[in-house]
Structure 1
Amino acid sequence: MHVWKSAVAATALAAAATGGYAQEKITLSDLSWNGAQAIGHVLSAIIEGEMGGDAEIVSGMNQAAVIMAGMDKGDGSIDIYTDLWMPNQQALWDEYIDGNQTVATNQPYQGTSNIYVPSYMADKVSSIEDLKNPEIAAMFDTDGNGKGEYWAGDVTWASTKRWQIKFKSYGLDGLWEPNIVSADTFKAGLEAAYTAGKPQLFYYWTPEAIHVKYDLTALDEPERFDGCEDVNLDAEDWLEVSEFECVIAANEIFVAYSKSLENRNPAVAAMLSNVQFTGDEINGWIVEMFENKRDPREVAEEWIADNKEIVTAWIDG
């Protein structure tokens, strides 16, 4: 261990002496939500622009377990998980960050997770208790099977299981059923429904540009109490053995990266350890990149140019 650390230090000193950075290519995840993609564009712009390196957002690299296993191997197949939501990925954190200690993180930013309706529905639906009314559920039944529908998330997301557990724990699964589709499919349906003033019930999070585009209301949920969240997403019968009867605590959201970078590209590893985002910054990127349809690289480079002192501090430590 001491020999390896000494080698890392020597590499970093050599890079500093020559005014350059280690140039091994850096690979970033391609997660499916806008915040993660925006972070990927900003980090790759820093690596390629400010640091003179080579970076690639790996198309289709969007499965959490695959990303973490790749970073654990440290072979460069994937180096950076751009937006690790906790405690959604607790099992992977336990295995690779606390257990194998092959993956490191920066300091997190804060996010929230709630269940929403368009605000034009808020006079009828404002709390979880309202969802226990069969007449309310019937308003959200689009296929005539007697159950209202809510978007729980993408099939690949841990949060999708959590919302199903929450609806069961709240005693809502007799009246409601999850609609599990991709974020893009959901957002297309929401836009059509919102334009027509139709009911929609769905999970969403902050930061995200959807809150700029639409007027949304989060439903009131019970406050947190000891034992209100007892979840085992890895169990074969995860829905039956888990309980979740309270609002989700504020999420901590990290950039995670392979510790192998400390040897393979110590300058980038150091930069990633220093990165500190805010939700407002990320929301601004999302709006420009995905709502205003600007070129993501242009948005990233513009933000970097406007925040040189921050980025330089990340790079130089």
Structure 2
Amino acid sequence: MKLARNLLFGTAFSLIAANSALAADDATVKIGDLTWTGAKAIGHVIQAVINGPLDSEAVIVEGLSDGSIIAAGMDKGDGSADVYTDLWMPNRAAIWDKYIDGAKTVGHNEPYKGTQKMYVPSFMADKVSSVDDLKDPEIAAMFDKDGNGKGEYWSGDAGWKSTRMWQVKFKSYGLDELWEPEILPDATFKAQLKTAMQREQPILFYYWTPEWVHAAYDITPLDEPARTEGCENVNLDKEDWLEASSFACASEDASIYVAYSKSLETRNPPVAKFLSQMALDPAVVNEWILKIGRDKMDPRDVAEDWVANNMDVVNSWIE
């Protein structure tokens, strides 16, 4: 009888321990691992707040860098993906429409603003100041790296919707006969930019704010036509996205959000509240990017130091 009671107690204790472990794992916050520096900085700050002042647990899932996969994980609510650190709108309108406005399984904070423009080094601004200048074959020839008769411009990384957006823009501006996109990882492009700036070579490229290249280099954005009704008609998720889209005006300033799975509202309510209240200052984000991207500091160290020294801001996010 005593043996039976001991076995029953042992079984009950094992079930309680197992359930506690499952509950702890269910509360663990999985943060996406987006590739650009701003997203990485924000992700590490989120992790530092959750693991520090909130006394919970968050992990950045290495390699979880596809925005569509992160969004699908947030929608499932199974803990496979909980946080999309840097959701650019309207670039990711398909995610917004499907999961935030549609399924209502994804929440978000108040956004900060970002810009998206095409740039040249300022030492070239007297020759190239607007997209109209790019229609000149002699200008395009200055940017022709491989001698195939077309100038190259960096439109972004292969996984970015903005990479498609700029290809649509160049087509809509009538530039695709003279220009072709270079689709390269951000780190590869930054190495090219550094060389071009040092050697004062022509380079044409997409970039955004906030980012550290604006502090490191003297660069100038190209003028584009003002926005008018109907100037932007894009569907970047269609199979024939390039043919089906048009975009012949300046990009609207982006609204950039932290998005999160609403399943956290039951799995880890303090974290859900924090993510909904997190208010990012673009100037502060740029400071993080400078330290991580230009100065090569460890993102975790940057985040933890900032959180420790800015608890007044952090408390406004979590209280």
Q: By the TM > 0.5 criterion, same fold?
A: yes
Residue in structure 2 matching 1:232, options 231, 235, 250? 235
Matches of 2:202 and 2:131, distance apart in 1: 15
Q: Is the 8 A contact 2:260 2:275 kept in 1?
A: yes
Moved more, 59-68 or 22-31: 22-31
Structure 1 position 294, deviation (Å) = 1.9
Residue in structure 1 matching 2:312, options 275, 300, 309? 309
Q: Is the 8 A contact 1:22 1:264 kept in 2?
A: no
What stretches of structure 1 of length at least 5 have no aligned partner?
Answer: 1-20
Moved more, 186-195 or 67-76: 186-195
Residue 190 of structure 1 aligns to a residue in which SS? helix
| Aligned counterparts, 1:1-317, within 5 A | 24-316=27-319
Q: 1:86-114 deviations in whole A, cap 9, x for unaligned?
A: 00000111001111110000000000000
Q: Is the 8 A contact 1:103 1:259 kept in 2?
A: yes
What stretches of structure 2 of length at least 5 have no aligned partner?
Answer: 1-23
Q: 1:239-260 deviations in whole A, cap 9, x for unaligned?
A: 1121101000000000000000
Matches of 1:169 and 1:200, distance apart in 2: 21
Normalised by the length of structure 2, the TM-score is 0.91
Matches of 2:238 and 2:291, distance apart in 1: 40
Structure 1 position 290, deviation (Å) = 2.0
Normalised by the length of structure 1, the TM-score is 0.91
Structure 1 position 216, deviation (Å) = 0.5
Matches of 1:118 and 1:249, distance apart in 2: 23
Q: 1:155-214 deviations in whole A, cap 9, x for unaligned?
A: 110001100000000000000000011111111111111111110000000000011111
Q: Is the 8 A contact 1:257 1:272 kept in 2?
A: yes
Matches of 1:295 and 1:65, distance apart in 2: 27
Which of the two has higher C-alpha Rg?
A: 2
Q: Cα RMSD over matched residues?
A: 1.3
Aligned amino acid, residue 34 of structure 1: T
Matches of 2:70 and 2:84, distance apart in 1: 7
Aligned amino acid, residue 307 of structure 2: I
Give the count of matched residue pairs: 296
Q: Is the 8 A contact 1:22 1:265 kept in 2?
A: no
Structure 1 position 288, deviation (Å) = 1.3
| Residue of structure 2 equivalent to 1:15 | none
